[in-house]
Amino acid sequence: MIKILQDDITMLKVDAIVNAANNSLLGGGGVDGAIHKAAGPELLEFNKTLNGCETGAAKISPGFKLPANWIIHTVGPVWQGGNQGEPELLAQCYENSFELALEKKIKSIAFPAISTGVYGYPKHAAALIAIQQFQNYEEKFDEVIACCFSEVDVEIYEGLLADSRMYEYESNHG
Ligand code: AR6
């Protein structure tokens, strides 16, 4: 089941939350900064052992002080106009995060809108990729949550989800 929430992802009591990190995995601003602050300094110590993360890949750490048990760190692409493989890399972030979650038998997972803050990915285009990946994996999880920070993001996700369900209905009913 896909759920769209407007919330601070650090507050969610799910098996795993996903972090929109950078290649160092050693913290930063945005959702990454909020997650490091809420999880506590042990997260930084742990992440030092992970040797960074390539763009599009994902690595996992415990949740430490978070209500979530795990943090899946993924690194979204920096938007450079769209012709530098950004859509494929963003799709890989979702895919690799889901695959890691399946390996760890995670049943509920929440994602922020990866790359759409500091990294400048256009919100609508990014949400379209996110929703497609959520639909590819939703059956394998109890709960897949799009954790939006702003109301605008909620509206974008809800609109796209409604459109894709309409499309699915029409393709199934001729
Ligand atoms: N809960 C949920 N979503 C949040 C939260 C939160 N607490 N805080 C921000 N967002 P960004 P990026 C939303 O910039 O674009 C960092 O410095 C935010 O409104 O966090 O992938 C890293 O270290 C936006 O919709 O991530 C990297 O250097 C979304 O999260 C770089 O930023 C992503 O915005 C990564 O940039």
Q: Total structural domains in the chain?
A: 1
| CATH number, domain with residue 15 | 3.40.220.10
> What's the pLDDT score for residue 82?
97
> What's the pLDDT score for residue 88?
98
Ranges of residues in the chain with a pLDDT under 50 are none
Percent of the chain exceeding pLDDT 90 equals 93
Ligand 1 neighbours (beta carbon < 6 A): 8-10, 20-22, 28-32, 34, 76, 112-119, 147, 149, 153
Q: Which of 147, 132, 107 is nearest to 20 (CA)?
A: 147
- The pTM of this model reads 0.97
Print the domain residue range for 9.
2-173
> What's the pLDDT score for residue 32?
98
Q: Which amino acid is at 168?
A: E
Determine the Cα–Cα distance for residues 102 and 75; give it in Å rounded to an integer: 19
> What's the pLDDT score for residue 167?
75
